[in-house]
Structure 1
Amino acid sequence: MIEAAQFVEAARSRGFEWYAGVPCSYLTPFINYVLQDDSLHYVSAANEGDAVAVIAGVALAGKRGITMMQNSGLGNAVSPLTSLTWTFRLPQLLIVTWRGQPGVSDEPQHALMGPVTPQMLETMEIPWETFPTEADQIAAALDRAIKHMNETGRPYALVMQKGSVAPYELKGGGAMPAKHALPVAQAKWTGRTPDQLPTRQQALERVIEATPAESTVVVASTGFCGRELYALDDRSNQLYMVGSMGCVTPFALGLALARPDLNVVALDGDGAALMRMGVFATLGAYGPANLTHVLLDNGAHDSTGGQATVSGQVSFANVAAACGYADAVEGDDLATLDSVLAAARERAKGASGVAGTRFVRLTIRRGTPDGLPRPTITPPDVKTRLMRHIGALAK
């Protein structure tokens, strides 16, 4: 058994200062230790997949992070682990608890996941070893993880058995983001008919115009959003998500938190936003003022044939406001988008403004231009280009 401080401080000396995760009783000492150290950063995610995406954003910023989860949460994390961190080569250290480990008595819900945990990691091509239980094992385990991460750009897992870490008391509830008064969501509907709504192309043109490459990063959701942005103007400050549907906002959150000098714009879609609505609460709690969440809502899964989503029944701005975003507005006019992007630019210049993340949902027309190309730049190359652009690559 080791002390939480022994592992966390050894990790800190190797550059690991960012943590995200979902609690497990095995992880309690770590989380309690990190929460009570102001020089470390912990994001309490709504689910394990969001936590993986947050730390992937930290990796995009050129920094090291750790995602912590119970092994039952591996199911929630499969999508970002297989189509975000693996695809873009964004490394992170995973600490996965081994509930239901064969031969160890546990609750019935862990009876299947316990035996298959190693196979799940191996199927996802994530090398793993058991978490160190002696102080003199810690450094070597971390160094093996870092070596793999540096050589492959992909995650490495430490699987934590019961009783690996001594208890560590949480005093005062731990450091949580300061609460602020909830905003009143604004609705700016003009009553336009579907064929009068702005197109995605028009919205993306406004985004490009309002996001200068020298100070802004634009992360576009998977599907036609990223493809159309690429077709309009393939800039070095842009990243086009593939797969990992719904992860664009926690990914952008990790980047924005780790790089407060950058203005980060997350381009979301209605289908993706509906898939992971828990992240609205995470962004409301942790979202910084240098992050802007733009949701382009056409009421359809456009890239898979135009099947309708249920977004017409949802007031995303009210959801964002209720979750604690600093500002939330929705409408069907490009001027609404323009005003939010302009406010974000003023914040980037150092002007006073809201102290959290802004949200705008713009209702757009269905449909996509004919012959829309797929990006020819590979995911690892677009990642490397962006990291080079923001100075995040090691010299």
Structure 2
Amino acid sequence: MAAGYHLATGKVPVVYMQNSGEGNIINPLASLLNDKVYAIPMIFIIGWRGEPGIHDEPQHIYQGEVTVKLMEDMDVKTFIIGKETTKDELKAAMEDFLALLKNGKQVAFIVRKGVLENSEKVVYKNDNTMTREEIIQHIVQVTGEDPIVSTTGKASRELFETRVANGQSHQYDFLTVGSMGHSSSIALGVALNKPDRKIWCIDGDGAVLMHMGSMAVIGANAPKNLVHIVINNGAHETVGGMPTVASNMDIVAIAKACGYPNAISVSSFAQLDRVLNEAKSRNELSLIEVKCSIGARADLGRTTTTAIENKENFKGFL
């Protein structure tokens, strides 16, 4: 979009992302924007999660270590903004950047945690009544000892706490703590190689949108033992609740167009329980969209096992 903006206006676009987004831009950065190709100038503002020396989640640690290096390796000059950075220093960096932008280069401001503040409190909500944690509790009740692959963010944290509350083992679940948008592909890989096991994927609308090509690949393979559940609250809730476009999308129609033989949307627990049991007994690929409210418990905990422990336990169980 930013490249298109430049082509249409001749102006320099600005793209804001978390540093996890760096991996997603490597291809267009190298093969579209670079001055050896189309020389499209661009300013990146990158939130620095997992900065070395600052405690963060496991999925952010290595990403944080290579945040600056990735940009430098891609020939993108960087300037780090911290709480001590003055307006004059920022202005001087921008003056330096302007010369590079005029030559079709890209530049990046790396913003340390806690530097930017916004006093306005925005509350995001929708008209759906089911909470995600209760939805996950209903899923767990039906799946029994079937393997579950869950998407990144609060969904995996709520699945973890549901197992704790039930006194169940965590070995049944692979918690995709990072790698947003890829849980359904991981579940497909498991399902194709464990055809005698019913495999469940707990996905989110934001994750589905991020890599929608996965649905086409799943539909083309049509594993009979996979159930793809998309909990749709129309928001990127884990990182603030900003709306996605999924509220206005027909995910069921998309799934059917991709080759899913069974796809349905539900908005009540009675419907959810019925379709979960139907999917469990059905020997065919299924998708269930679950309309969900926005919000989570304020005291929602984080996983107490390491990512490596989670992987080994899940592998051992499979």
TM-score normalised per structure 2: 0.59
Q: Which residue of the partner structure matches residue 147 of structure 2?
A: 217
Q: Which amino acid aligns with 1:383?
A: K
1:229 aligns with 2:159: yes
**Superposition deviation, residue 195 in structure 1:** 5.4
Q: In the alignment, is the contact (CA less than 8 A) between 1:329 and 1:361 conserved in 2?
A: yes
**Superposition deviation, residue 109 in structure 1:** 6.0
Q: Which residue of the partner structure matches residue 370 of structure 1?
A: 298
CA distance in 2, matches of 1:194, 1:339: 24
Aligned length: 203
Find the partner of 1:346 among 262, 267, 281: 281
Within-5 A mapping of 1:1-395: 78=23, 194=126, 197-213=129-145, 216-234=146-164, 235-347=170-282, 353-354=283-284, 357-390=285-318
**Superposition deviation, residue 336 in structure 1:** 2.9
**Superposition deviation, residue 337 in structure 1:** 2.5
Deviations 1:358-381 (A, max 9, x none): 001011111001111110111110
Deviations 1:89-134 (A, max 9, x none): xxxxxxxxxxx9xxxxxxx869xxxxxxxxx9xx89xxxxxxxxxx
CA distance in 2, matches of 1:201, 1:231: 9
**Superposition deviation, residue 278 in structure 1:** 1.2
Q: In the alignment, is the contact (CA less than 8 A) between 1:218 and 1:238 conserved in 2?
A: yes
Secondary structure of the corresponding residue to residue 243 of structure 1: coil
Q: Which amino acid aligns with 1:228?
A: E
CA distance in 1, matches of 2:157, 2:211: 21
User: Which ranges of structure 1 fall in alignment gaps of 5 or more residues?
Assistant: 1-75, 80-99, 101-107, 111-119, 125-192, 348-352, 391-395
Q: Which amino acid aligns with 1:382?
A: N
Deviations 1:58-99 (A, max 9, x none): xxxxxxxxxxxxxxxxxx9946xxxxxxxxxxxxxxxxxxxx
Q: In the alignment, is the contact (CA less than 8 A) between 1:205 and 1:232 conserved in 2?
A: yes
**Superposition deviation, residue 252 in structure 1:** 0.3
Deviations 1:156-207 (A, max 9, x none): xxxxxxxxxxxxxxxxxxxxxxxxxxxxxxxxxxxxx945611111111111
Secondary structure of the corresponding residue to residue 272 of structure 2: helix
**Superposition deviation, residue 333 in structure 1:** 1.4
Q: Which amino acid aligns with 2:223?
A: P
Q: In the alignment, is the contact (CA less than 8 A) between 2:229 and 2:289 conserved in 1?
A: yes
CA distance in 2, matches of 1:284, 1:277: 11
Q: In the alignment, is the contact (CA less than 8 A) between 1:336 and 1:362 conserved in 2?
A: no
Give the RMSD, CA atoms, in angstroms. 2.8
Q: In the alignment, is the contact (CA less than 8 A) between 2:126 and 2:233 conserved in 1?
A: no
CA distance in 2, matches of 1:343, 1:109: 52
Q: Which amino acid aligns with 2:300?
A: L
Deviations 1:246-274 (A, max 9, x none): 00101100000011111110000011011
CA distance in 2, matches of 1:109, 1:284: 35
CA distance in 1, matches of 2:312, 2:287: 28
- Relative to 1, partners in 2 of residues 1:346 and 1:331: Cα closer, same or farther, differing over 3 Å? closer
Q: Which residue of the partner structure matches residue 61 of structure 2?
A: none
Q: Which residue of the partner structure matches residue 80 of structure 2?
A: none
Q: In the alignment, is the contact (CA less than 8 A) between 1:263 and 1:344 conserved in 2?
A: no
Q: In the alignment, is the contact (CA less than 8 A) between 2:234 and 2:244 conserved in 1?
A: yes
Q: In the alignment, is the contact (CA less than 8 A) between 2:128 and 2:267 conserved in 1?
A: no
CA distance in 1, matches of 2:242, 2:307: 27
